[in-house]
């Protein structure tokens, strides 16, 4: 089934071409929707997510994203030799390192640069693309953050240095038990990135 998922404060908007109901979320016809009204609906505590149906997924998605200014970013799920995952702590939440794509950069270059800058790590090896995630936020209007995630490895043995000027207070490798705990205080997108890695 083809679909795009956009998180609004961890609640999903599922843009889908399937008429089969996979969840208990209300269904709206995408062509008849005003995106800001849908986002407003998701502020209602009783609604945990919405489905937006479109018969043509690509054309529907392209129309949907016209409602936003899109900001593109890239980041990494980094494994060390023990298969632990590199996490950062920022704004009182556990996250994975990522950042905006700069002019002239490829998504792969951004992903490596941002992980290096945010964690003070080197010897990164890009393994393969993982997933692209989407979430909305307000900053001078409604923005859609599109993040390209990559699986990476590193044999770096030195001390990690969190990028304090970016509000990152910790950069640390976590084992599966610690990851399960960290994901209790993280974002749905990050859970999704980690789940995608586990399914590989």
pLDDT in tens, 99-157: 999 999 999 999 999 999 999 999 999 999 999 999 999 888 889 999 999 999 999 99
Rounded to whole angstroms, the Cα distance separating 87 from 97 reads 7
CA distance 116 to 161: 9
Q: Are residues 91 and 44 in the same domain?
A: no
Note down the domain range covering 161.
72-199
Of 19, 47, 67, the one marking the end of a domain is: 67
Q: What is the CATH number of the domain that holds 131?
A: 3.90.79.10
Q: Name every residue whose Cβ is closer than 8 Å to that of residue 47 and which is 6 or more positions away in sequence.
A: 11, 25, 26, 41
Read off the pLDDT band of 19 (50, 70, 90): confident
Residue 66 pLDDT > 80: yes
**Predicted pLDDT at 141:** 86
Residues 179 and 81 both lie in one domain: yes
**What DSSP line would sit under 96-149, residue for residue?**
--EEEPPTT--HHHHHHHHHHHHHT---EEEEEEEEEEEEEEESSSEEEEEEEE
d(CA 170, CA 36): 35
101 and 184 together in one domain = yes
Query: Both 61 and 155 in a single domain?
Result: no
Q: Which of 23-27, 137-141, 164-168 has the highest average model confidence (pLDDT)?
A: 164-168
Based on the fold, state whether residues 146 and 78 are members of the same structural domain.
Answer: yes
Looking at the fold, whether 97 and 182 belong to one and the same domain comes out as: yes
pLDDT value at position 1? Answer: 57
Compute the average pLDDT of residues 80-94: 97
Domain boundary among 22, 41, 67: 67
Distance CA 115, CA 121 (A): 7
Mean pLDDT of 176-183: 98
Residues 44 and 103 in one domain: no
Q: What percent of the chain has pLDDT over 90?
A: 90
Does residue 10 sit in the same domain as residue 92? no
Model confidence pLDDT, tens digit, residues 180-199: 999 999 999 999 999 999 99
Task: Examine the domain organization and report whether 121 and 87 are in the same domain.
Answer: yes
Confidence of residue 44 (pLDDT cuts 50, 70, 90): confident
**Same domain for 36 and 132?**
no
**Last residue of one domain, picked from the residues 48, 67, 86:** 67
Q: Given this model, what pLDDT does residue 43 score?
A: 84
Q: Helix, strand, or coil here: 190?
A: helix
2 — pLDDT class (breaks 50, 70, 90): confident
Count of domains observed in the chain: 2
Q: Is the pLDDT of residue 21 over 80?
A: no
Alpha helices in 42-106 (DSSP H): 57-64
Average pLDDT over residues 58-65: 95
């Amino acid at each position: 089934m083809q679909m795009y998922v956009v998180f609004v404060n961890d609640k999903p908007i599922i843009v889908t071409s399937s008429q089969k109901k996979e969840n208990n979320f209300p269904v709206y016809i995408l062509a008849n929707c005003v995106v800001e009204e849908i986002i407003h609906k998701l502020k209602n505590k009783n609604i945990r997510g919405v489905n937006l149906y479109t018969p043509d997924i690509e054309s529907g998605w392209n129309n949907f994203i016209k409602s936003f200014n899109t900001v593109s970013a890239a980041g990494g799920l980094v494994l060390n030799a023990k298969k632990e995952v590199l996490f950062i702590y920022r704004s009182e939440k556990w996250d994975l390192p990522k950042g905006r794509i700069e002019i002239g950069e490829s998504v792969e270059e951004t992903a490596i640069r941002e992980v290096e800058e945010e964690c003070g790590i080197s010897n990164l090896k890009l393994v393969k693309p993982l997933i692209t995630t989407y979430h909305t936020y307000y900053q001078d209007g409604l923005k859609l953050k599109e993040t390209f995630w990559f699986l990476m490895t590193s044999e770096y043995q030195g001390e990690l240095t969190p990028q304090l000027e970016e509000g990152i207070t910790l950069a640390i490798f976590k084992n599966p038990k610690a990851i399960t705990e960290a994901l209790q205080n993280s974002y749905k997108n990050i859970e999704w990135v980690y789940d995608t890695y586990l399914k590989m």
